[in-house]
Amino acid sequence: MRNLEEILERLLARAEGAVAAAVGGMDGLLVEQRPEHQPDLAVCVAELTNALVGVRRAVGEALAGGAVAELSVRSEHVVALVRHVTPEHYLLLALEPSADAVAAAQALDDGAQRVRELLA
C-alpha cells in the first residue's frame, strides 16, 4: 500500500459491515478518512481522542495498566473499533452492529500494521 487512502479503502473492503474508516491524530485532528464524504468523522475523531486520553489516564495510569492499545465502543447503531498505530495516531473502524467482530478485528490488525509501516 502506498498511501492512507488505499489502506483505508482496503480495510473497508475487507471488513464486512464496515461503514467508515479513518486515521486520527492524538491532537484530535482527522488525518484521512474513507468514505471521503463522511462529515461527522472529523467530530468523531476529535471526541474519540478525548476518550482515548481519558481511558489512558483511567486504565493506563490509575490502574497501572500500561499503554492502551485498543478501545471498542458498541452503541445502538454502530460499533467503533479504535487501535493505536503510533504514539501520535490511531485507526478507527466503524461497523454495523451485525458485522462479524472477528473478521473486523483481523482486518483492523492488517490495516493497523500497514498504517504503522507507512507512518514510521
Beta-bridged to residue 93, according to DSSP, are 21, 81
The pLDDT tens digits for 66-113 are: 888 999 999 999 999 999 999 999 999 999 999 998 999 999 999 999
pTM over 0.85: yes
Question: Would you state the pLDDT for residue 39?
Answer: 67
The CATH homologous superfamily to which domain 4-119 belongs is: Dynein light chain 2a, cytoplasmic (3.30.450.30)
> CA dist 58 to 2, 24, 51, 91, Å?
36, 21, 10, 21
Indicate the pLDDT class of residue 120, thresholds 50, 70 and 90.
confident
The pLDDT, as a whole number, for residue 60 is 84
